[in-house]
Amino acid sequence: MRAGQDALKHASDELRDFGVRAVPVIADMTKAADRARLFETAISELGSVDLLVNNAGGPPPERTRTSAWTTSARPSSFP
């Protein structure tokens, strides 16, 4: 996990160099406690969550039936 933490810190530092407000958080979106911590941190640091991008991966949507894509995304996107 340390390599991921270092990469996340490096990326957030680079964003800050461009004037972007970045709040790095490592979270497993399949775990309710991690999801709660992610949102608590975001709200504490930024005041609100206006947009959430799920970048967890999955099958390519252009070659996947909607139901199969939704099923693959559900564990990382929905409580």
The pLDDT tens digits of the residues spanning 15-24 come to 999 999 888 8
Give, in order, the Cα–Cα distances in Å from 10 to each of 45, 51, 73: 19, 22, 28
Please tell me the distance from the alpha carbon of residue 37 to that of residue 43, in angstroms, as a whole number.
10
Compute the average pLDDT of residues 13-32: 87
Return the pLDDT at 75. 59
pTM above 0.75, yes or no: no
Return the pLDDT at 19. 93
